[in-house]
A and B are shown apart, each in its own frame.
Chain A
Amino acid sequence: MLKKQIPLAITFITGVIIVVTFFIPHPPFGRLQQDALTWYSVIFGFTMLLGVDSLVKFHYTKLRRREKGWWFSIVFYCGFLLSFITGVISEIRFGDAFNINSSFMYFYNTILVPLQSTMFALLAFFIASASYRAFRARNIDATFLLVTAVIVMLGRVPVGYMLWHKLPDLTSWILNVLQLGPMRGIMIGISLGTVAMSLRLILGIERTYLS
């Protein structure tokens, strides 16, 4: 009862209330969707503790057992404390951790940003290796994939215009017509699938989370 029925009832009631209030602007119903999001972020704050706890424990175990590469866990702790402590200090000093002059933002800009952009920029290499490997005309479908990819790649750079001055136009036609249609179909499918899943959740048919 406590472990199964009540959670199912909570899901049912929350789901139905929020869907119904979508159609009712009158207070207090009109604001409920917004409130649900607020509640979500509050609960999220608590579960974030679970995440931090899981990580800290994970690295603590590594350190204690002197597992292979244990000293990288020290690096992890340093990074965590650096951003967390500067965040708190900056908040106290400037009233806003995201103030441009705060030490928190300074670390953000000088350490986190280069790491982010470099990691992001790995894509330039991977997009090349993936195209080399994957774009083989193994069958009809793969050939279609390959042909539009190559045309669009060429049409996007000045060289494409030099090769055939209509290529940029063909490229935008492919993007606006050939690409848009199927993407719409995929979107409609995903939306209908989402609604169907929502109904299954409300009705308690789909209950992965409650097992």
Chain B
Amino acid sequence: MGFWDRFLKIDRRWVFLIVWIAVVIPLLKPLGLPTHITPPVKKLYDYIDKMEGEDKAVFLSFDFDPSTMPELLPMGVAVIRHCFAKKIPIIVYGGLYPQGVGMAKMAIDMAKTDFPDIKYGRDYVFLGYVPGLYLVILSIGESIQGTFGNDYFGNRLDTLPLTMSIDNYEKIGIVVDLSGGDIPTWWVAFAYQRYGCRIGCGTTAVSAAQYYPYLQTGQFVGMLGGLKGAAEYEELLVRNGIPTGRRTATIGMDAQSVVHLLIILLIILGNIGYFYVRRRERRA
């Protein structure tokens, strides 16, 4: 039995091992492969960037749970860092479902380490969960104080400088919704179409395809699709001199590139082996 015969019948656990190594090594030692910026990401970045100096806030909603965390959490961290660096007021919302609050907390903790002069209540506010699903989106149109009452830590919103001046969509420049499901369309239907508040979206690689029409119609300002979108946002931060800490998404993309190439290499080798063995058998 020759090399190719053995290669074709390779125990699949070897494939598992190689995939595992291909993921872990870039995580331990980032490769720093270049990132190419795509228009949907650039548009979202520019829109938020232009809010610098205006007194409008970014409203960042965490509508995802741990299952899509690897893709969506880096987006949240990147957007929070962007706002912190440019002193754009930001309201971080734990999302319409209870599972999102933990995600939002994690993102804030990861983002704030590089910004010692950022002050809670003045530069950002963290809102927790209230029941109501899409009714919450409508209710924010009337009053944030009326909808939530208290922030995540139990402070009354009318005691925090930020929420004293920003109370509904009129003073919100953009709502960025991070979700792997169809919640971004709720924000479009209720916050954009009813109150005219602009919407940006961060979603998983799988869901991104279904949202392209929303970009074309302008219902989304911009979109971050999957880990790649998050990596592009991190890259834009770096290019503009904003500290990014550990660039989770960019490093993840290194791993992505390596594993994709690896799988393609396996497919090619598998085919070479297959044709080699077949030709030999035909001759015989």
Contact = CB atoms under 8 A, between A and B. Distances in A.
Interface of A: 96, 98-100, 105, 109, 113, 116-117, 120, 124-125, 127-129, 131-133, 135-138, 146, 149-150, 153-154, 156-159, 161-162, 168, 175
Contacts of A168: 36, 38
B260 A157 contact: yes
A161 B267 CA distance: 20
B274 to A, nearest CB: 5
A112 to B, nearest CB: 10
Contact of A162 (B34, B209, B256, B270): B34
Contacts of B262: 128
B102 A109 contact: yes
A182 B35 CA distance: 33
B67 A153 contact: no
B215 interface: no
Given A113-B66, A133-B270, 6 more contacts: A128-B263, A132-B15, A132-B266, A157-B253, A159-B33, A175-B209
B237 interface: no
- In terms of DSSP, what is the predominant structure of the interface of chain B? helix
A158 B36 contact: yes
A137 B60 CA distance: 47
A146 B38 CA distance: 27
A21 B211 CA distance: 33
B135 interface: no
Nearest to A109: B102
A47 to B, nearest CB: 27
Given A113-B66, A133-B12, A157-B257, A150 B19 contact: no
A150 B264 contact: yes
Nearest to A100: B98
A156 B253 CA distance: 10
Interface in B1-33: 12, 15-16, 19-20, 23, 33
B160 interface: no
Most chain-B Cβ atoms within 10 A of its Cβ — which of A109, A138, A154, A157?
A: A157
Given A100-B98, A124-B23, A129-B16, A137 B129 contact: no
B16 A125 contact: yes
13 contacts: A100-B98, A113-B65, A125-B20, A127-B263, A128-B15, A129-B16, A133-B270, A136-B270, A154-B264, A157-B253, A157-B256, A157-B257, A159-B260
A117 B209 CA distance: 23
B228 interface: yes
Contact of B267 (A96, A113, A150): A150
Nearest to A101: B98
B173 to A, nearest CB: 28
Interface string B254-284: 0011011111101100110011000000000
Category for how many chain B residues contact A: 35 or more
Nearest to A138: B274
B228 A100 contact: no
Interface string B78-120: 0000000000000000000011011000000000000000000
A153 B12 contact: no
Contacts of A135: 267, 270-271
A153 B98 contact: no
A69 to B, nearest CB: 23
Nearest to B209: A175
A144 to B, nearest CB: 14
Contact of B274 (A129, A137, A175): A137
Interface string B108-143: 000000000000000000001101000000000000
Contacts of A154: 260, 264
Contacts of B261: 157, 159
A138 B263 CA distance: 18
Contact of B98 (A98, A116, A125): A98
Given A120-B67, A128-B259, A128-B262, A161 B36 contact: yes
Contacts of B274: 136-138
Nearest to B254: A158
Contacts of B19: 124-125, 128
A137 to B, nearest CB: 6
B32 to A, nearest CB: 11
Nearest to A116: B67
